[in-house]
Amino acid sequence: MARIDEVKATFWGEGLYGVQPPLTDAVVQDAERRLGVRLPAALLEILRVQNGGLVADAWNAFPTDAPTSWSENHVPFDDMRGIGRDDGQPSLLDSGYLVEEWGLPSPLVLLSGDGHCWIALDYRTCGERGEPSVTWFDVEGDSELPLAADFHTFVEHLTAAASFDDADSSRSAS
C-alpha cells in the first residue's frame, strides 16, 4: 500500500485528455457551490498538481474482493475528471447531468467512468458536508460496490492494472 504523498507525486500520466486549466481556490469554491458538496482535501491536493487527466499506469486500478462486470479482482481507474469547463473535456461539474442521465443515486460526484460503469464520491451516507466514501457503480448490471471509506484511502490502495492476472482482468461489461 502506497502513502498518498508517494501516489500524488506520480499520479498523473502523459497526455492532455481530460486536463482542465490549473485549479484555483475560486474554482474550488464555485465547484463546491455548483455540486452542493464539500470536496475531499485529498482530491483537491491531487487536482492542484494537475487538474484532471489520464492516471499513470502505476495507479490505474483499484483491487476488489468481489468480482465486477469488469474483472474478478479489480476495477479500472484510467482517468480522473478535473474541475472546469474546458470545452470537450470531462469535468466533475458534469456529475449532476450524468447522474440523472444514467439513473444513478444522488448525491454523487463522478470521478471516472464511461456511462456503463463509474467510480464516484458517494455522499449518501455522510451528507453533503461530510467525507464521502468511494463507490463503483455498474449501470448495466444495476449494482454497486463500496471501494473505500474515503478518497484518501482509495488513493492509497490504487495499484497498476498490469499487476493483475490478464485472464482475470480481461472480462468486459458486454
Q: Could you count the other beta carbons within 10 Å of the beta carbon of residue 55?
A: 22
74-88 pLDDT, tens per residue?
999 999 999 998 777
Q: What pLDDT, on a 0 to 100 scale, did the predictor assign at position 71?
A: 92
Q: What pLDDT, on a 0 to 100 scale, did the predictor assign at position 135?
A: 98
Q: What pLDDT, on a 0 to 100 scale, did the predictor assign at position 171?
A: 45
56 contacts: CB under 8 Å, gap ≥ 6:
10, 11, 12, 13
Q: What pLDDT, on a 0 to 100 scale, did the predictor assign at position 166?
A: 57
Q: Give the position of cell 479482482.
A: 73
Q: Do 90 and 80 contact (CB within 8 A), yes or no?
A: no
Pick out the chain residues at pLDDT < 70: 165-174
Length of the chain in terms of residues written? 174
Q: Give the position of cell 499513470.
A: 56
170 contacts: CB under 8 Å, gap ≥ 6:
71
Please give the Cα distance from 77 to 120 (Å, whole number).
11
Cell numbers given for 7:
501516489
Q: Find how far residue 36's CA is from the centre of its chain.
A: 18
Please give the Cα distance from 36 to 153 (Å, whole number).
23
Q: What pLDDT, on a 0 to 100 scale, did the predictor assign at position 10?
A: 96
This prediction's pTM: 0.92
Backbone torsions φ then ψ of 87, nearest 5 degrees: -50, 130
